[in-house]
Amino acid sequence: MDDDLITERRSVACPQVFGYLRHVTGGPARHVVLVDCLTKYCRQHELTLCGVFTDHETTVAVRSPAFVGLLDALELPDTYGAMVPSLSHLGPKRVVSERQRQITATGTRLIVVRPIRPTTERAPQFGVSPGLQHQGDM
């Protein structure tokens, strides 16, 4: 059994997640690749990606429209968590910790999809950043 599978470690009635992206460069093709990354991760970990909120502004406010939409979605019943391809999608360092706090305050998890031990011989594997799990999972 794969140690990175998260739903097997926790009783989850309906593992619904919402994605969040900060997409300011790369055009529509880059956005598609980022959404595909979230979709693939969900498929691998038996999660349902219910939507993706995307900020396109280069300036980052802690409570941007898309991030507020994400927080609202996380309050829906049976929501398991929020997903980002990497922590950089939450914004610059000065904003990341506050956004992490706001996500945790909803009682859901923050799932960070990121390469784990990438090599040139195989494609990167993805996993949950252990330091960002919901408080009850530590």
Q: Which residues form the domain of 80?
A: 7-131
Beta bridge partners of 51: 18
Q: How far, in Å, CA of 79 to CA of 48, rounded? A: 10
Reply yes or no on whether the pLDDT at 85 is more than 90. yes
Place of tokens 């300011």: 24
Whether residue 136 lies inside any domain: the answer is no
Q: Dump pLDDT digits (tens) for 4-51.
A: 555 555 565 558 999 999 987 778 999 999 999 999 999 999 899 999
What's the CATH code of the domain at 127?
Answer: 3.40.50.1390
Question: Phi then psi for 106, rounded to 5 degrees?
Answer: -80, -10
pLDDT at 51: 97
Q: How far, in Å, CA of 126 to CA of 122, rounded? A: 12
Residue 91 one-letter amino acid? G
Whether residue 46 lies inside any domain: the answer is yes
Alpha-carbon dihedral sign for residues 52, 113, 5, 77: negative
Total domains, the chain: 1
